Amino acid sequence: MRIFSLNSVGTAAMVAALALATSASGAESGQQFTVVMNNMNFGQMPGQVHIGDTIIWSNQDTVQHSATARDGSFDIRLQPGQKGRTVLKKAGKIAVDCLYHPTMRTTLNVLPAPK
């Protein structure tokens, strides 16, 4: 009986430790930034983004848009009113195009992960 109750305390501690490890290592640890697509253009880009950050693309136009990285690192296609997200995985200047509108162009400057 005693041994059994010690075991269940041990298991509970292990489960708690695992839960902590999972939340600390998740890609959700970065910051989130929203980029609006409106009036056939990308809105203002965030000044500083880092690997691990999330960009939420928000299509507020009445036509379809995409946020397509020219280096192939992401390709988000959005119907009017839709949102989609990208977790940044690569540092550098990434040219971003809309596949449907050749004049829709922007650049993301992704810095290495902080610390």
- Interacting residue ranges for Cu ion, rule: CB under 5 A: 65, 98, 100-101, 104
Closer by beta carbon to Cu ion, 52 or else 57 = 57
Q: Retrieve residue 8's tokens.
A: 């269940």
Q: Which CB, 52 or 96, lies closer to Cu ion? A: 96
Per-residue exposure over 5-25, b if at least 16 CB sit within 10 Å of its own CB, e if not: eeeeeeeeeeeeeeeeeeeee
- Least distance from C-beta 70 to Cu ion, angstroms? 15
Nearer to Cu ion, 35 or 98 (CB): 98
Q: Which is nearer to Cu ion, 83 or 101 (CB)?
A: 101
* DSSP state string for 4-22: HHHHHHHHHHHHHHHHHHH
- Minimum distance from residue 65 beta carbon to Cu ion (Å): 3
Q: Do the beta carbons of residue 106 and residue 55 sit within 8 Å?
A: no
Shortest separation between residue 69's beta carbon and Cu ion, angstroms? 15
Minimal distance, residue 29 CB to Cu ion, in Å: 31
Q: Is residue 63 helix, strand or coil?
A: coil
